[in-house]
Structure 1
Amino acid sequence: MRSRTKALAENQIAALWRLDGALREKTLWKMLYESAARADELLCLNVKDLYPQGKRGEITAKGGATEWIHWQSGTAQLLPRLIARRTRGPLFLTDRRAPAGTPTLDVCPETNRGRLSYRRAEEICEENTRLLANPLASPEGIEDLDGWTLHRLRHSALTHDAEGGTSTPMLLARSRHASVRSLERYARPGVDAVARHVAERDPAARRRT
């Protein structure tokens, strides 16, 4: 039976970072988790939207509002390699040249490659995480099973923040939700948080200390 919570456990996140994936995917997944942004927002980023020195980026959120996302050292270490010497165009690119008729804003003028789509990014994430999501599955049947979605990284980041005691105002700022009620989905503690809670209240452990 699948877990009811959408948040990944901390050991699952750690296993994801150990995957031998492509630089583009590593950067996207790390940025998703560290920024707690929506995947479509990150995929719409252009190189010019990034402010590496401040570990932040300017995005267009729901409704067309301009907002900021912030990342940590993991993303900061990967971004220079992903960008290389590019100074414009989409941040996350396809592996091939953009087909004729692709909107100019979705084509890198320096490489002629197109912007990576949400559909393709989601497919790659699911394909690469099937074994992590189904550790007991046989290799023969793995192709028929689901992997992890991009959204689970955002959900995991916000859930782990809530478990760590992050304040409601900060969670609202991180998630960029308009309503406190929207945070309820992240308030359900995950497996690791419950395990720590039980262990900390174990009478035997208290006697040992």
Structure 2
Amino acid sequence: MADVLDEFVRHLGSERGRSEHTLRAYTGDIAGMLRHAVRMGCTEVAEIDVTVLRSWLASLHARGKARATLARRASAVRVFTEWAYRTGRLDADVGVRLASPKAQRDLPEVLRPAEARALLESVAAGTAEGDPVAMRDLAMLETLYATGVRVGELVGLDLDDIDDGRRVVRVFGKGGRERVVPYGVPAERALRDWIARGRPQLAAPGAGPALFVGVRGRRIDQRAVRTVVHERLRAVPDAPDLGPHGLRHSAATHVLEGGADLRMVQELLGHASLGTTQVYTHVSVDRLRKAYRQAHPRA
């Protein structure tokens, strides 16, 4: 079974182009299911049936796993069983009969526009003295909020991904999908300042083309960006404690509140399906209700 798991993960990486983060998640999920199958007496993958899969999900539920976790792991197993059936390791795709609870899709807490402005202004104040770390932090925060990119997409940006003339950034998202996202004048100023004055002070020879670098001069990692966001938000009175994903949700929410439709937000965020973006639908409904109260004579 371990050999089959290794082959499945190689398939995901080489043929389907999944990221390292995704590969680690699949490895953990499928390994857990296989261990459960062994405990139920299975000695090879061919002996796994829907009863084993349901028992595995039930054991996770009994241990208090969240609905979102159960839904994700069931989805991972369905990908595995489809591959195992297609490659002759299972006589039938038993995963298609596996039901899982729908994940609760609540919109995470977001910043109010005034809080986002206060965050960026407080960081900008530190750049006046020429501090390269402050310049970098401002450029990262402006980029996260202006474009709604994921933190993994941010740290993967190279210098030539920035088109300063058109004020757009080229982003490689999940599954290697490429998209071009616009950004505004404040982000343009912050990026120019960082590239021209801040980055040369921090970048080490091993930085390569990385747009953002850490204090050791190499490409910054996701953990460092999360730390920056949390620490910088502490300076904003009453602001929620958010990470980079909170800035992504804030950007999407504020764009919708400004009048954009869900299709535009889908393109901005790089969602493959509009269904993923529909978690923001309540924002559109709130805006519609407000417009109705203002416009309808019987509101």
Q: TM-score, length-normalised on structure 1?
A: 0.71
Residue 252 of structure 2 is matched in structure 1 by 158
2:193 maps to 1:90: no
Moved over 6 A (4+): none
The answer (yes or no) to whether the contact 2:118–2:236 under 8 Å persists in 1 is: yes
2:175 maps to 1:63: yes
Equivalence map 1:3-18=2 (5 Å): 5-18=108-121
Residue 197 of structure 1 is matched in structure 2 by 290
Q: Which whole-Å deviations, capped at 9, do the CAs of 1:104-144 have from their partners, x for residues lacking one?
A: xxxxxxxxx20111101101211221243647xxxxxxxxx
Higher strand share goes to which structure?
1
Number of equivalent positions: 172
State the SS of the aligned residue for 1:94.
Answer: coil
User: Aligned partners of 2:237 and 2:275: how far apart in 1?
Assistant: 29
Change (3 A) 1:114 1:156: same
User: Aligned partners of 1:57 and 1:197: how far apart in 2?
Assistant: 34
Give how far 1:25 is off.
1.0
2:221 maps to 1:117: yes
Residue 236 of structure 2 is matched in structure 1 by 132
User: Aligned partners of 1:166 and 1:79: how far apart in 2?
Assistant: 25
Change (3 A) 1:59 1:9: same
State the SS of the aligned residue for 1:89.
Answer: coil
- Structure showing greater relative contact order (alpha-carbon pairs closer than 8 Å, 6 or more residues apart): 1
2:144 maps to 1:32: yes
The answer (yes or no) to whether the contact 1:60–1:67 under 8 Å persists in 2 is: yes
Give how far 1:186 is off.
1.9
User: Aligned partners of 2:157 and 2:273: how far apart in 1?
Assistant: 25
Higher helix share goes to which structure?
2
The answer (yes or no) to whether the contact 1:55–1:72 under 8 Å persists in 2 is: yes
State the SS of the aligned residue for 1:95.
Answer: coil
Residue 181 of structure 1 is matched in structure 2 by 275
CA RMSD, Structure 1 to Structure 2 (Å): 3.0
| Structure of greater Rg | 2
The answer (yes or no) to whether the contact 2:167–2:188 under 8 Å persists in 1 is: yes
> Gapped runs of 5+ residues in structure 2?
1-106, 127-133, 201-207
Work out the percentage of aligned pairs sharing the same amino acid. 26
Residue 142 of structure 1 is matched in structure 2 by none
Give how far 1:66 is off.
2.4
> Gapped runs of 5+ residues in structure 1?
97-112, 136-145
Letter in 1 for 2:119: L
